[in-house]
Structure 1
């Protein structure tokens, strides 16, 4: 299936939107309103590989993906071997395809926590990726790993605002900007990575970051000097930052963006903004053509599903790493001196040592004051015996791929969350909270929704108006299990930047090697 727009010439005449379905992602209401006022997308049942009249006359066809963490399909959608086939189909139709990724691919996934993103680079090499910019997750393993992965890449990086502190040059040999010619169309490209607290500490060591707007100004000036007919920004910025970029530099023809995990297509003044969701479930096809009236742009959002065959070369790379991953999952990473209680009836109605372990790992990874995790995310429904802990066991405990989000909330929101989580107690429920960094009591005599008492954080009583940093799974950020009190709260680290929980859990137990988590009185019952 294709989501297709009319040909866009400067500004669309029609307004409205129809979006593909999206999984495990959030859309802030303000962003959704902005998208609604952006561009008209029309459903079409034409096969993804069948070009229309405009596409047949295009001088350049960009195929965009972004925020790709998995090489294989997720929920039946995506898969890099299918994307490779899509590129080949476009080339066979007579178009000139340019496959671009707008950042976030080295991390975070279970495979990346083991292979440090090498599986992504090898798959990209096989599928014929052409251009890439860096996203915040490219820095998760530090500079040395980033440089190693960039050195293994057989495609060009375009990054205008990240530099090697030792040399002052763009990191890893990236080009700050470049020009490519397609027939008579001369297109200038530059890349931008977000600069935020999401890239901090060890992730920044040995690197220098320039403000994206300053870097954009320099790159655009250089592309003007090279007489580019069209300018394309490949960015890994927030949607609001992309809008600001478009307003400040209206000479940008297209912003090929990342960071958000759901498809976005918008017109801001004369600039087309495109984001293609996550995990290559969709590919944004952007066709460019110059005529006497200027530059024409046509966008279609292609769903990557089983109607696209898998490219054999890319599929071979993916299968090889899947096989290696299976072996790596059996590697023992730590030892538990005690049995770990993950039985559903236990973890969904009271404190357990496995619940404490998971919550502690989340809080440690986020550096937060407290952590709350819904017990429904702790799986296996069994007591894990004392002894060796393999990666496979950790994945059985945390199989969903949720990531850690960090918020800054007043104490009353923490209390609301605890009251919501215990609303169905003593009935076992997935919303029941396992916690770290705080203690509380459940008063069985109090009414439902107001049973939580004696909340203490850091040894002192909870202050209703004091701000606390709280780490939660991204599932709760979207109101999962009834945790709707987090809507509208300040997000310090959102789902686009958070670490996958099972990777944080592995690092937590590996660092300690020998663990013995206890039930230590974080949750008490007053009868």
Structure 2
């Protein structure tokens, strides 16, 4: 039999960086043929962008619909920053397959738009596809979803696809999760990855499995080439195409301009009037003080601790609009309550006050700011080198409920908080809490 070539294009983690999208579309339109495969690996949508926010992600799906990918999977931004009703309806009008094997409704059923596996045939070669996303086990149930181990869902998918000649995994597990997947299941031929934003110029071969990932924000498109002798793969190659010098797709530019104008108009809604709030990452910050106080009340906690850098700028005197709040607090970050003993709380307070922490530039974890900044506390004071909570000396053996931001509990920043008892408050984001606080204060002042 003749040697044939299977060409695959993939990208990941656009995060609603729509300035890059017209270039990416232009590249894929130029390289599209009837025999090429196109995949989006999740986190296409990010509520940081006003147009994604105001359309509940439907703009992102409309953009994908125009591109007509072979299949997509979801990332954590679609999965755990969208309220349940947003995600349950997100892909209901999509005509492209959404492959997702490890997320279920609370009753164990799957949304109508989900497919666990997909088989396509090209030149007599059966290509089996499946997808899975990062298993945030503490977060999905708070939004009304069940989450399964991706390694278990992979085992089930491979059983269904064992008759296929080529098996491709669409993964939003991150590079290290992909390596584990390759070690466990060498029958997978290619893992198209995402989540950790790795730039894998030529891919990585692990246990005979080719792992490919294409950075983030649409800066790259990945290309995987499989050469087959009949139905047997004889060669695997991966490379990246850098897109900064690409021309834009005019039609896509026009759509984004129109959608952006609509989003700005729909978010130009006045919710209150204020005398203004100052924001300061390295000094007294009334706006972050208001936010942390409101989080304690929202979560019925004892005390509050947040990095002031989650508030990007202050609010000038006058009208406060939804658009303004979205710009000031764009993060897909949720309130969280930690239950800590006094000894751990003391360590937490010390660590977030260290200069190495306050000056830290953070990328990922939902943070869309610059630096973490100095902490804003509520019901916590430091006097004569000792901490006081609710007016009393902090006791090492006492238990405290601490309102904070979820990003501090995931492990990379403060690893010892990851295993502490906690509850996430979802789907509300920090800006929802801030909005409620500003509106409430406005009403009190108006009546008083």
TM-score scaled by structure 1? 0.67
* Structure 2 unaligned spans of 5+: 360-370, 443-448
1:141 counterpart SS class: coil
Shift of residue 90, structure 1, vs aligned partner: 1.7
Deviation at 1:415, TM superposition (A): 1.1
CA distance in 1: counterparts of 2:154 and 2:357, whole angstroms: 50
2:313 paired residue number: 379
Q: CA deviation at 1:461?
A: 4.2
Match of 2:223 in 1: 285
For residue 219 of structure 1, report the CA deviation from its aligned partner.
Answer: 1.1
Is the counterpart of residue 249 in structure 1 residue 185 in structure 2?
A: yes
CA shift digits 1:101-120 (9 cap, x unpaired): 12223443232332210111
What is the aligned partner in structure 2 of residue 514 from structure 1?
Answer: 439
SS in 1 for 2:77: helix
The corresponding residue for 1:17 is: none
2:286 alignment counterpart: 353
Partner of 2:368: none
1:157 deviates by 0.8
C-alpha contact 1:407 1:469 (8 A) present in aligned 2: yes
* 1:396-415 → structure 2 map (5 Å cutoff): 397-398=328-329, 410=344, 411-415=346-350
Query: Once the two structures are superposed, what CA deviation does each residue of 1:12-36 show, in whole Å capped at 9, x if it has no partner?
Result: xxxxxxxxxxxxxxxxxxxxxxxxx
Report if aligned partners of 2:174, 2:196 keep a CA contact under 8 Å in 1.
Answer: yes
Work out whether residues 402 and 475 of structure 1, in 8 Å CA contact, stay in contact via their aligned partners in 2.
no
- Partners of 1:373 and 1:473 within 8 A in 2: no
For residue 160 of structure 2, what is the aligned residue in structure 1?
222
Whole-Å separation in 2 of the counterparts to 1:247 and 1:471: 37
Is residue 151 of structure 1 aligned with residue 92 of structure 2? yes
2:233 aligned with 1:302, yes or no?
A: no
SS in 2 for 1:310: coil
Q: Distance in 2 between matches of 1:202 and 1:407?
A: 13
Distance 1:110 1:505, change over 3 A: farther
Q: C-alpha displacement at 1:165, in angstroms?
A: 4.9
Equivalent residue of 1:341, what SS? coil
In the TM superposition, residue 68 of structure 1 has moved relative to its aligned partner by: 2.3
Distance 2:129 2:135 in 1: 20
Distance in structure 2 (CA, Å) of the matches to 1:441 and 1:286: 57
Q: Does 1:441 align with 2:382?
A: yes
Task: After superposition, give the CA deviation of every residue in 1:388-411 in whole Å (9 maximum; x if it has no partner).
Answer: 311333255447x68579798933
CA contact (8 A) 2:333 2:407 kept: yes
Equivalenced residue count is 414
Contact 1:188 1:228 (8 Å CA) reproduced:
yes
- Closer, same or farther in 2 for the Cα pair 1:492/1:149, shift >3 Å? farther
Counterpart for residue 90 of structure 1:
31
Aligned residue in 1 for 2:365: none
2:124 corresponds to which residue?
184
RMSD value, Cα: 4.0
Aligned to 1:448: none
Q: Is the 8 A contact 1:403 1:499 kept in 2?
A: no
For normalisation by structure 2, the TM-score amounts to 0.77
Residue of structure 1 in register with 2:352 after alignment: 417
The CA deviation at 1:150 is 1.1
Ranges in structure 1 where 5+ consecutive residues have no aligned partner: 1-56, 74-78, 425-429, 444-452, 480-485, 518-527
Range moving further from structure 2, 461-470 or 145-154: 461-470
The answer as to whether partners of 1:83 and 1:127 remain within 8 angstroms in 2 is: no
- The separation in 2 between residues aligned to 1:68 and 1:423, in whole angstroms, is 28
Inter-partner Cα distance in structure 1 for 2:180 and 2:425? 24
Q: 1:261 to 1:319 in 2, by over 3 A?
A: same
Q: Please say if residues 288 and 311 of structure 2, whose CA atoms lie closer than 8 Å, have aligned partners that are also in contact.
A: no
